[in-house]
Amino acid sequence: MNPSRHEICVVGGGLAGASAALAFAQAGFDTVQIAAPSRTDGRSTALIGPSIRFLERLGVLPALEGRAQPMFAMRLVDDTGRLLRAATVEFRAAEIGLPYFGLNVLNADLLETLRVQGDVYSDRLLRIDEPVVSVDLDKDHATVVTESGRSIVCRLLVGSDGRNSVVRTAMQAPVRAWSYPQVALVLNFGHQKGHDGVSTEFHTVTGPFTQVPLPGHRSSLVWVETPENADRLKALPTERLSEEVERRLHSILGAVTVEDPVQSFPLSGASVGRLAARRCALVGEAAHVFPPIGAQGLNLGLRDVEALLACAMEHRDDPGGAGMLAAYEARRRTDVATRTAAVDLLNRSLLTGFLPVQALRAVGLGTLAAVPALRHALMREGVEPGAGFAGALGRVRTLLPGQRASG
Ligand SMILES: Cc1cc2nc3c(=O)[nH]c(=O)nc-3n(C[C@H](O)[C@H](O)[C@H](O)COP(=O)(O)OP(=O)(O)OC[C@H]3O[C@@H](n4cnc5c(N)ncnc54)[C@H](O)[C@@H]3O)c2cc1C
């Protein structure tokens, strides 16, 4: 069979792959997306500023109308029961002049809207629903072969094939992977009382227990537990599990009804030594994996896709060439490394039984509760990566002797 030739080949059909395929096709690139079938994703994603603007440019935001819940406030509650407990901290978007922090949307709804919008560009977006079984790279192009033997040649191969990426293996990127003694139970539930667009995160000794609002009297839950507890909870009849969720929420939303399915995700992390080389570029979990703390993973993945597209547009004559790949690596390296380290540190600080670290965390959250300027900087950093602390540092600098802004 003769190979088919395209400018861009996207491997992977998750949210990173679907947004990459749509973004490249919309920008006029001849694109093929190859994706192995995967299980239905019951998770939700809290999309923040840059992701929302990117999805708006992709034209998917109107289709999410009524399916995305604005998050007006976030509450952190220390539910560790430890000797040194942190103060409860509440962040309100209005405090920093924003209408909301982000939009919470079910992954399945987001994936569907990305695919439907991709159909608009079917003249330059071909989809093949089967796994890639081999990848061959050379200076001018990459060749992939699918399970049924189809061969595809492209200038740029986008690895959005998740944590066990075959594209990453082919480009020989060094990977450091680790695991945590934790499992995230993920479920959605209905509740008696309204949530008022507030997300509440309870910090427990086994990890965070985070309720995130969905439209109506409905929320999603990410419940981080030990593997043994996760197995036990998952095996409970729905009624018992609903009671347990209500108890852990201290009944702030009244009676709870857990929906099917209850999914579980063992927590792990991975840091990838190279994001682009030899006609390949990695995005999403092929490029970085970390625990679901602070709603960072997909938001980072969407920033990868946006940056990759921008680099390809700047090197329109040769997408996937050495210059374009170097530009992508330079643009993404710091953001990816900083978020990976920050989320790992936060997760380990929650797990530790070491008293000085507990004390530091308690003081840290106490300071956040008491010092509005710091709280505001953290909130800005959360919704606009790079804006919060850089902005705060800028303001501090203008107050230093000899640095005062004129006028
Ligand atoms: C419990 C939990 C909660 C989370 N909550 C948030 C949140 O609130 N906010 C946030 O930003 N992030 C969150 N994340 C992270 C986010 O879900 C992930 O970053 C995101 O789903 C990763 O998407 P992806 O497309 O990179 O990978 P995946 O969803 O893993 O997709 C990989 C795709 O590649 C395909 N594939 C694999 N191998 C091949 C092959 N050989 N050939 C072809 N296709 C292949 C698979 O079938 C799949 O379609 C959370 C993660 C977890 C675990």
Position 184 scores a pLDDT of 94
Cβ atoms of residues 35 and 17 within 8 Å: yes
Determine the distance from the C-alpha atom of residue 302 to the mean position of all C-alpha atoms in its chain, rounded to a whole number: 8
DSSP characters for 206-268?
TEEEEEEEETTTEEEEEEEE-HHHHHHHHTS-HHHHHHHHHHHTTTTT-SEEEPSPPEEEEEE
Q: What's the sign of the alpha-carbon dihedral 308, 312, 58, 9?
A: negative
Instruction: Count CA atoms closer than 13 A to 186's CA, side-chain side.
Output: 17
User: For residue 297, what are its two tokens?
Assistant: 């993973």
Residue-by-residue pLDDT tens, the chain, 407 positions? 788 999 999 999 999 999 999 999 999 999 999 999 888 899 999 999 899 999 999 999 999 999 999 999 999 888 877 665 667 888 899 988 999 999 999 999 999 999 999 999 999 999 999 999 999 999 999 999 999 999 999 999 999 999 999 999 999 999 999 998 999 999 999 999 999 999 999 988 888 899 999 999 999 999 999 999 999 999 999 999 999 999 999 999 999 999 999 999 999 999 999 999 999 999 999 999 988 876 688 999 999 999 999 999 999 999 999 999 999 999 999 888 887 777 777 666 665 555 555 555 565 666 666 667 766 766 676 667 766 555 544 443 444 334 333 32
DSSP annotation of 17 reads H
Tokens of 338: 């900083």
Structure tokens at 194: 């309204």
Question: Does any ligand 1 atom lie closer than 6 A to the CB of residue 14?
Answer: yes
pLDDT of residue 39: 84
CA of 376 to the centre of ligand 1 (A): 30
Ligand 1 lined by 201 (C-beta under 6 Å) = no
Q: What is the pLDDT of residue 6?
A: 97
Structure token digits, residue 218: 């409905």
Placement of tokens 């922090």 in the chain? 101
Distance 52 CA to ligand 1 centre (A): 18
Give the angle 67-68-74 at the CA atoms, nearest 5°. 145
Give the pLDDT confidence score for residue 166 in this predicted structure: 98
Three-state SS at 3: coil
The Å distance, Cα 153 to ligand 1 centre, comes to: 25
Pocket test for ligand 1, best of 134, 161, 299 (most atoms within 8 A of CB): 161
For each of the domains in the chain, give its residue range(s) and CATH number, in order of start.
4-62+106-176+269-347 (3.50.50.60), 70-103+180-267 (3.30.9.10), 353-399 (no CATH)
Ligand 1 centroid to Cα of residue 285, in Å, is 6
> Does ligand 1 come within 6 angstroms of the Cβ of 359?
no
Which atom of ligand 1 is nearest the CA belonging to 222? 1
Residue 290 CA, ligand 1 centroid: distance in Å: 11
CB atoms within 10 A of CB 209: 21
Q: How much is the pLDDT for 405?
A: 33
pLDDT at 404: 37
Tell me the CA–centroid distance for residue 379 and ligand 1, in Å: 25
What are the phi and psi torsion angles at 151 (to 5°)? -115, 130
Biggest CA–CA distance in the chain, Å, is 72
* Ligand 1 probe mutation, 38, 280, 298, 332, most atoms within 8 A of CB: 298
C-beta 320 within 6 A of ligand 1: no
Q: Is the CB of 16 under 6 A from ligand 1?
A: yes
Token pair of 127 as six digits: 């989809």
Q: Which amino acid belongs to residue 86?
A: A
AA identity, residue 262: V
What backbone torsions phi and psi does residue 326 show, to the nearest 5 degrees? -65, -40
Residue having the nearest C-alpha atom to atom 15 of ligand 1: 297
Residue 298 Cβ inside 6 Å of ligand 1? The answer reads yes
C-alpha distances in Å from residue 366, one per residue of 278, 352, 375, 378, 380: 48, 18, 10, 14, 19
Q: Is the CB of 135 under 6 A from ligand 1?
A: no
Q: Is 336 in the pocket of ligand 1 (CB under 6 A)?
A: no
Rounded CA separation 166/175 (Å): 13
Following CA atoms 53, 328, 384, 299 in sequence, which dihedral angle do they give, to the nearest 10 degrees?
A: 70
d(CA 389, CA 374): 9
Q: 290 and 345 in contact (C-beta within 8 Å)? A: no
Q: Which two tokens stand for residue 395?
A: 């303001």
Query: How buried is 229 (Cβ within 10 angstroms: 0-12 exposed, 13-18 middle, 19+ buried)?
Result: middle
| Residue 212 CB neighbours (<10 A) | 23
* Cis before 261 (ω within 30): yes
Distance CA 31, CA 154 (A): 9
